[in-house]
Amino acid sequence: MSEGRKQPQRTCLGCRQVKDQSELIRFVRSPDGEILADLKGRLPGRGAYLCNSRQCLEAAVSRQQFSRAFRCECQPADVAGLADKVAQELLKHLANLLGMARKSASFVAGSNAVLDALTHRKSLSIIALAEDISPQIGEKIRRKAQRQNVLTTELFDKMELGRILGRAERSVVGLPDGKLADAFIGDLRRYKDISGEI
Ligand SMILES: [Zn+2]
């Protein structure tokens, strides 16, 4: 994908805007006619492209653009179902990125460690709080992060965060400035956008 300087351009099925392929989500049709999101761009066959946007997804479905693109009766009946599938894939990406942060030991985990990092102005880019973090601690971290312009989000629960980070439970994890955090923030935006959480 990184060959040459010029990015291949593709048209979004929803809004018809032409964009760099890397900005769009690729969809393919499975042999049994199901439309699948191909976030890694590795599935074989003809691809159709869409912005990371629920709006574009809805526009593409309502205008029968998938059938047209794949020249078949493979129009997804259910926008919500398709959007969910993309959201689930993105969630997997986000978990993988946290797993990579764990492997390279480039993360701060646990509420004390994260608060400490914020106090000492260690440069964190993003803090992910477990959905079931204690409300008081969550609020404390959020307020402190906001003062320092560090993004916060709620993602996974304590068990799941712990599993990803190799612990029993984790209530919060912070990623320091860097490529990994940038990738995480990028996928997080896409995730929120496609799941209509904005
Ligand atoms: Zn679009």
Q: Are residues 96 and 163 in the same domain?
A: yes
69 Cα to the center of ligand 1, angstroms:
15
Give residue 10 CA to ligand 1 midpoint distance, Å. Answer: 10
pLDDT, tens only, 71-128:
888 777 778 888 888 898 899 999 999 999 999 999 999 999 999 999 988 889 999 9
Task: Indicate whether 130 pLDDT > 80.
Answer: yes
Q: In Å, how far are 25, 26, 58, 144 from 62, measured between CA atoms?
A: 18, 18, 6, 44
The more confidently predicted of residues 196 and 55 is 55
Same domain, 22 and 61: yes
Please indicate, yes or no, if residue 182 is contained in any of the structural domains.
yes
Same domain, yes or no: 93 and 66: no
Give distance in angstroms: CA of 14 to centre of ligand 1: 5
Q: Answer yes or no: is pLDDT of 160 > 60.
A: yes
Query: Would residue 118 count as lying in a domain?
Result: yes
> What pLDDT, on a 0 to 100 scale, did the predictor assign at position 32?
83
Last residue in a domain, options 47, 77, 107: 77
CATH at 63:
3.30.1230.10
* pLDDT given at position 4: 56
Instruction: Give distance in angstroms: CA of 198 to centre of ligand 1.
Output: 17
Same structural domain, 170 and 123: yes
Residue 180: pLDDT over 90: yes
Same domain? For 64 and 121 the reply is no
CATH code where residue 153 lies: 3.30.1330.30
144: CA distance to ligand 1 center in Å? 36
Which percentage of the chain shows pLDDT scores above 70?
96
Neighbours of ion ligand 1 (CB under 5 A): 12, 14-15, 51, 56
pLDDT value, residue 9: 95
Assess whether 102 and 31 both reside in one domain.
no
Domain annotation covers residue 3:
no
| Sign of the dihedral defined by the CA atoms of residues 189, 190, 195, 198, in that order | positive
Tell me how many domains the chain contains: 2
Query: Does 94 share its domain with 166?
Result: yes
For the stretch 33-73, pLDDT in tens is: 888 888 877 888 899 999 988 889 989 988 889 999 998 88
Domain membership flag for residue 22: yes
- Domain co-membership, 47 together with 139: no
Tell me if 79 sits within 8 A of 61, measured CB to CB. Answer: yes
Centre of ligand 1 from the C-alpha of residue 21, in Å: 12
Ligand 1: distance of its center to the CA of 11 in Å? 8
pTM (predicted TM-score): 0.82
Domain of residue 96: give its range. 88-194
On whether both 104 and 161 belong to a single domain, the answer is: yes
Q: Each residue of 166-185: b (16+ CB within 10 Å) or e? A: eeeebbbbbbbeeebbebbb
CA of 196 to the centre of ligand 1 (A): 15
Mean residue pLDDT of the chain comes to: 90
Average pLDDT for 159-184: 95
pLDDT mean over 6-23: 92
Ligand 1 center from residue 175 Cα (angstroms) = 30
Structural domain includes residue 165:
yes
For 156-182, what is the mean pLDDT? 95
In a domain, 1, yes or no: no
Query: Any idea what DSSP says for residue 195?
Result: T
**99 inside domain:** yes
Query: Has residue 2 been placed in a domain?
Result: no
Higher pLDDT, residue 4 or 58: 58
